[in-house]
Amino acid sequence: MSQVWTDIGAMDAIPRRGARVLKTPHGCVAVFRTFDDRVFALEDRCPHKGGPLSQGIVHGASVTCPLHNWALSLETGEAQGADAGKARTFALQVVDGRIHIDLTALAAKAAA
Amino acid sequence: MRHFQKEDIAADATPAPRQRLVVIGNGMSPGRALENLFETAPEAYKVTIFNAEPRVNYDRIMLSPLLSGEKTFEEIVIHGDGWYVKHGVTLYKGHKIVAIDREKRTVTSDHGVTEPYDKLIIATGSSPIVIPVPGHRLAGVLTYRDLDDVNAMILAAKSGGRAVVIGGGLLGLEAAVGLKEQGMEVSVVHLAPTLMERQLDAPSGFLLKTAIEARGIKVHTKANTKEILGTDHARGPSRARAVVLDDGAEILADLVVMAVGIRPSVALARDCGIAVNRGIVVGPDMRSSDPDIYALGECAEAQGQCFGLVAPLYEMANVVAANLRGDLDASFNPSATATKLKVTGINLFSAGDFEEGEGKQEIVLRDAARGVYRRLAIKDDRLIGVVLYGDVSHGAWLFDLLKRRVDIAELRETMMFGPEAAGGAPLDPTAAVAALPDDAEICGCNGVCKGKIAAAIKAKGLTNLDAVRAHTKASASCGSCTGLVEQVMRLTLGDKYAAAAVQPMCGCTTLGHDDVRRLIVAKQMKSIDATMQGLEWKTSCGCAKCRPALNYYLLASWPEDYEDDQQSRFINERVHANIQKDGTYSVVPRMWGGVTSANELRAIADVVDKFNIPSVKMTGGQRVDLLGVRKEQLPAVWADLNKAGLVSGAAYAKGLRTVKTCVGSDWCRFGTQDSTGLGVKLEKFLWGSWTPAKVKLAVSGCPRNCAEATCKDVGVICVDSGYDIVFAGAAGLDILGAQALCHADSEDETIEIVGALVQLYREQGRYLERIYKWAKRVGAPSIKAQVVEDREKRMALHERFLVSQKRAQVDPWAERVAGEQRHEFAPLADLTLVAAE
């Protein structure tokens, strides 16, 4: 599948150990920045009860959902500990401090 | 699948018709399986449930609290009617399935409903074993299994009288304690020589028996029931009146409860010809011998075992759900389970295997004075059994070692004392204390430094904590420095000292809350990074548990220097509104003392109209809640509210929430003082402060107490002679009447005392520990000593509170309206416009 990268903003626009929301026609995506400046994108819906992951506390490469404290891996989207479930992840790359997201993944999500 | 191959091919063009999933039974396991399925594959199945009980799904584990009166049925419902509607589930309540036709793939209920299925889950659970002694069918003889049993027991208990519980296992004992709570005279009759013999060894079974007897329950062990005697027929329908034992002894009983075990309900499965052993035989994928039929819950038998505890049953449920959505790799692998008795005040924990056997070794610790018994069973350097009685704080840690089959050769000497004592953990907890200078303060209450403790230990040959307390006063007041004092002892005494371990704050550290707080002060650590570095945190940047706690401790310790870390705050405290289930927020402006005005109400009404806010509701704390505000709207909503003088009500904060008042002497014919005015003053004094957990106050104008001050964290009740101050009440998870703190003669004195009390709580409370829990932990006398009796200490506390309030009393809404944290309220980018091309 071909990849189409879209610039969605500067990495510095997201606080370290924080997240911001990317609005798309196919729903919201949470874009995270870790303490060591890695960025990740997850569907902004916790697999548990649909909580907005972008509003959670970011620790290490994980986020804890604000609704019921599920912790999800930012790398795989998978729930950690005793919980089972997975949020979709999307490919990102950082070029010159700007974050680029692969839109085809988003479109594929909508078609799925 | 063969039935649907055609549709599957056609699915490219149109969505596949949903498969029909029928569930027999509506207990906790199928409830969990469906929850999982609806979350992961909501469209996959059209679900129909047949429930023999005439009600929705409820938490069976909570039957004991229900019986003892600690909970109501509404509180233990897992899925209300709405849940079934929302997920399009057809629920037949009170329908018992009487036949499964595997040829036609249908099930039929006793009311004649026939329902076709593509996939079927049998979750018929189990039925209680009834001992077929003469008299077992008499009125007044019950089992302990479902809500009907509990209702019958509560009803029977209303008329008082005597109850006999047959069976001294987990359920039987919970039933006995519950019936005792309901006011009955209770005896337990148990066949084995010791109670709960399947989970406990003899010594802990004996301790348990002593504890049960201490509650006024008679316990008969090695007692076999021979017969249940009924009342005389001549005097109306016969009811149970006594239980007769083998040895001829008669125990009077108006109520007999049999709790001797359960038997999987397999009749339905056996009748339709699927493989049945003790339970319905399933493979690792939870399918029975018919691949379209799953068995789930207590009726299922996996690897030759049936299960009755919730953890493995929920694991089964997740496997069923995974399988139904097409994840064929999911498999059920029963692991060890742990047992805890749900009786308030009796702590016991048991896991694994502890019976005598070849090659097994035991480590046992007994502390008769403290009522502590611990036994670990070890085989081939693996922990295989744990029994803890009295102090169960290390249960989770030991159970983890057991489940993961950790090689414990290294931990052997110390594991009995918990993870801290077991030096295998990466951080030596004494290292931080070792690094402290001799003049570092260890005990804040009594001002004792490290050097003084060490010197006293050496000079006087002290070897235990009590002696150290007696000689140095360290840890002799609130006790929160106990962990540190023990570490000083360990450092000074070396291996001669083995301490009781402290519960760590979270998985990121081995230190407890109190130690972390004290070390933050002692080592002058003023940021989260510095704290994690200095205390050798095990993770890169903590977790969602420790970061908010550290943020609070730093803020409370260094009110003038510490920069609040927004990223370590829970979303509500970050955006100063309360997140709701749909991701919108609720906004609650402050109404000082519950007083408002036409202007404020008009501004609120205008905001509701302008932003089209869907719901407006009164809170329990005398203010107005605006629900359903979108995050991006928040700053604009606040701007309008600010203009009318309304500020954040901090309804989201671990901080001061509300001061509820009655109208007092201004209006009320009974009012003795200006309770409303005092409430407003208290709220203006306390607002903005961060505390370990939320703080709610109330001021009542007379002892009729219309503001309900006696169930608040802090309450004031006005009387003719002044003000009675109460504290440590609760009316939430727990309900607890507040206790008297003291009497004050004036408003000023009241405010000073309340300020000192809140400050002491801010300094000693563990993060998320409400005032009543803190008070219980440190003891009311130690609080009164500092807040009431010692005027100098009170003034000092009050002064420290004022210092901290200087930076705290800023309206967070106004700050954000002015542009602070702007990134929180706007999306990073909006691609909806781009893609609309």
- Shortest CB distance from B828 goes to which of A22, A25, A48? A22
Considering only residues B460 and A105, tell me which one the structure prediction assigns the higher pLDDT. B460
Q: Which residues pair with B714 in a beta bridge?
A: B697, B727
Q: Output the six-digit token pair for B300.
A: 């299922």
> Which regions of chain B are under pLDDT 50?
1-14, 423-427, 500, 835-837
Per-residue pLDDT at B507: 85
pLDDT at B421: 63
Query: Of B311, B254, B245, B300, which Cα lies nearest the Cα of B278?
Result: B300
Measured distance CA(B88)–CA(B82) in Å, rounded: 10
Nearest CB neighbour to B827, from listed A16, A22, A69? A22
Cβ–Cβ gap A52/B836 under 8 Å: no
Helix (H) and strand (E) counts in chain A? 1, 10
- Whose CA is closest to B265, among B21, B101, B24? B24
> Which residues from A are below 8 Å from B43, CB to CB?
none
Q: Which residues of B touch A20 (CB under 8 A)?
A: 823, 827-828
Indicate whether A61 pLDDT > 50. Answer: yes
Task: List chain A residues with CB under 8 Å of B542.
Answer: 59
Q: Across the beta sheet with B97-101, what order do the strands follow? A: B97-101, B106-109, B114-116
Q: What is chain A's mean pLDDT, rounded? A: 90
The Cα angle at residue B86 between residues B82 and B89, in degrees rounded to 5:
95
Q: What is the ipTM of this complex?
A: 0.92
Is A57–B544 a contact, with Cβ atoms under 8 angstroms apart? yes
| DSSP-assigned letters across all residues of B228-283 | EEE--GGGSS-BEEEEEETTS-EEE-SEEEE-S-EEE--HHHHHTT--BSSSEEE-
Tokens of B146: 């479902």
Contact A60 B540 (CB under 8 A): yes
β-pairing, B162-166 vs B77-79, is unpaired
Nearest to B539 among A14, A47, A60 (CB): A60
Q: How many CB atoms lie within 10 A of CB B592?
A: 21
Cβ separation of B570 and A16 shorter than 8 Å?
no
Instruction: List chain B residues with CB under 8 Å of A22.
Output: 827-831
- Return the pLDDT at B2: 40
> Which residues, in sequence order, are bridge partners of residue B769?
none
Q: Which two tokens stand for residue A4?
A: 């189409």
pLDDT tens readout for residues A1-53: 567 888 999 999 999 999 999 999 888 999 999 999 999 999 999 999 999 99
Cβ contacts from A onto B, under 8 A = 101
Of B579, B583, B486, B503, nearest in space to B545 by CA: B503
Choose, out of B508, B828, B832, B837, the residue to mutate when testing the contact with A (most A CBs < 10 Å).
B828
Residues 25-64 in A contacting B (C-alpha not used; CB under 8 Å)? 25, 28, 31, 35-36, 47-52, 55-60, 62, 64
Amino acid identity, residue B92?
A: Y
C-beta atoms of A57 and B828 within 8 A: no
In chain B, residues with a C-beta closer than 8 Å to the C-beta of A103 are: 831
Q: Is B286 left (phi over 0), alpha (psi -120 to 50) or beta?
A: left
Test B540 with A49 for CB contact under 8 angstroms: no
Q: Does A111 touch chain B (CB under 8 A)?
A: no
State which residue of chain B sits closest to A88, comparing Cα positions: B40
d(CA B213, CA B205): 12
Q: Two tokens at B710?
A: 């006696």
Q: Does A85 touch chain B (CB under 8 A)?
A: yes
pLDDT at B39: 85
Q: For residue A89, which of A99, A100, A102, A98 has the smallest C-alpha distance?
A: A102
Residues of chain A with Cβ-Cβ distance to B318 below 8 Å are 84
Greater model confidence, B481 or A97: A97
Q: How far is B177 from chain A (nearest CA, A)?
A: 32
pLDDT value of residue B255: 93
- Note whether B831 contacts A20, CB cutoff 8 Å: no
Placement of tokens 């002290």 in the chain: B462
Question: How far does B454 lie from chain A, in Å, by closest CA?
Answer: 39
Q: What tokens appear for B177 in the block?
A: 């304690």
Cβ of B823 within 8 Å of Cβ of A13? The answer is: yes
Closest partner residue to A25 (CB to CB) among B542, B543, B831 is: B831
Question: Which residue in A20, A67, A71 is closest to B823 by CB distance?
Answer: A20
pLDDT for position B4:
39
* B575 chain-A contacts, CB cut-off 8 A: 55
pLDDT in tens, B710-740: 999 999 999 999 999 999 999 988 899 999 9
Higher pLDDT, A80 or B613: B613
